[in-house]
Amino acid sequence: MSLVAAIGVFVAMILALPMADPLTRLHAATRHSAWLAQLSVKWPYGVVLGLSVVIACVFGIAFGIAAGLVGATVAWLAGTYRRRKLAKRKQAAVADACRALAALLRVGHVPAAALNAVAQDAPVLVEVAAVQRIGGDVAPVLRRLAVHPGQAGMSELANAWEVAERTGASLTATLDALAERLVAQEEVRNIVRAELSAPRSTGRLLAALPAAGVAIGFFMGGDPVAFLCGSIVGQLVLVCGVALACAGLVWTERIAGADG
C-alpha cells in the first residue's frame, strides 16, 4: 500500500507542475528539430575524423592527414549538393504554397482558413499554421523561416501578411507576383548551373589528375608509392599535393556554385 501511495503522490506532483503554453512547446520542438538538422550535417565529418585517426595509426600520420583531407572534401561536396537540392525544392514549395494561398483567397477564404488548408499539403507552412491556430503572430515565424536556404520568399510573404492584417488589403495579387518571381529566379539559376557545369567538371578532373599520375608512374615501372611512403620528403609531398588538390576542388566549386 505504501508503494501505491508513493506512486500516487509522485503522479500528483507531476500533474501539479505548471505546463508550458502551446507556443512555448512549439518553439521547443522547433529548436529540437534544428538541433537534429545540425547533427545530420556534421556527423559525416566526425566519421571522417575517426577513420583518419585509424588510418594514421595503421599506415602513418601522412596517410591519415591525406585521407582526412580527401574525406572532408567529399563530405563537404556531398553536403553542398544536398543543401542546394533542398534549397531548390524548398523554393519551389514556397512558390506552390503562395499560388495555393492566392487561389483560396480568390474564391473567398479568409487568410487564416486558407493558411490552415494549404499547410495540410505544404510542409513549409506547417509551423506557421500551427502558430496561427494557437493565437501566435504569423509574420515573425515567416521571417524566422525565411533565413533557411530556399525560403527567402517567406520574408516578403510576412510583409504582405502584416499589411493585410493591419489594413485589410488583399493578399492575392502579392502572392501571385511572389510566386511568379520565385519561379523566374529558379529558371535563371538553372541556366547559370547549366553554363557552369563545364568549369565544375574541369575542376573535378584536375583534382583527380594527381592520383592518375601516381597510377601511370606505377604502371611505367616506377614506384611512386614507395617514395610517398618511405621518406619524410615523400610524405610532405603527399600531404601538400592532396591539400592543394582538395583546396582547388573546393575553390572551383565555391566559385561555380555562387548561384546558390
Digit-coded pLDDT (tens) for 70-105:
888 888 888 888 888 888 888 888 888 888 888 888
Cα Rg, the chain, nearest whole Å: 27
241 and 155 co-located in one domain: no
In a domain, 238, yes or no: yes
What number of other Cβ atoms are within 10 A of residue 256's Cβ? 19
* Statement to judge: residues 186 and 222 lie in one domain: no
Q: Is 6 inside a domain boundary?
A: no
> Which residues have C-beta within 8 Å of that of residue 61, sequence separation ≥ 6?
235
CA pseudo-torsion sign 28, 33, 37, 39 = positive
32 with 124, same domain: the answer is yes
DSSP string, 210-257: HHHHHHHHHHTT--HHHHHHHSHHHHHHHHHHHHHHHHHHHHHHHHHT
Looking at the fold, whether 207 and 112 belong to one and the same domain comes out as no
Q: Report yes or no on 144 lying in a domain.
A: yes
Domain boundary among 175, 195, 215: 195
CA distance 175 to 160: 8
Q: Is 119 part of any domain?
A: yes
Residue 36 maps to a domain: yes
Q: Containing domain of residue 48, as a range?
A: 22-195
d(CA 60, CA 115): 59
70 or 225, higher pLDDT = 70
Domain's final residue, options 162, 195, 228? 195
Residue 2: inside a domain, yes or no?
no
What's the pLDDT band for 25 if we cut at 50, 70, 90?
very low
- Unique residue bearing C-alpha cell 491556430: 133
Q: Which of 195, 217, 241 is the last residue of a domain?
A: 195
pLDDT value at 57 more than 60 = yes
Contact predicate 193/259, CB 8 Å: yes
Q: Are residues 68 and 170 in the same domain?
A: yes
Residue 7 lies in a domain: no
Given this model, what pLDDT does residue 37 score? 47
| Residues 166, 66 within the same domain | yes
Reported pTM: 0.65
Counting the structural domains of the chain, the total is 2
Cα 46 to Cα 73: distance, rounded to the nearest angstrom: 13
How confident is the prediction for the chain on average, in pLDDT? 76
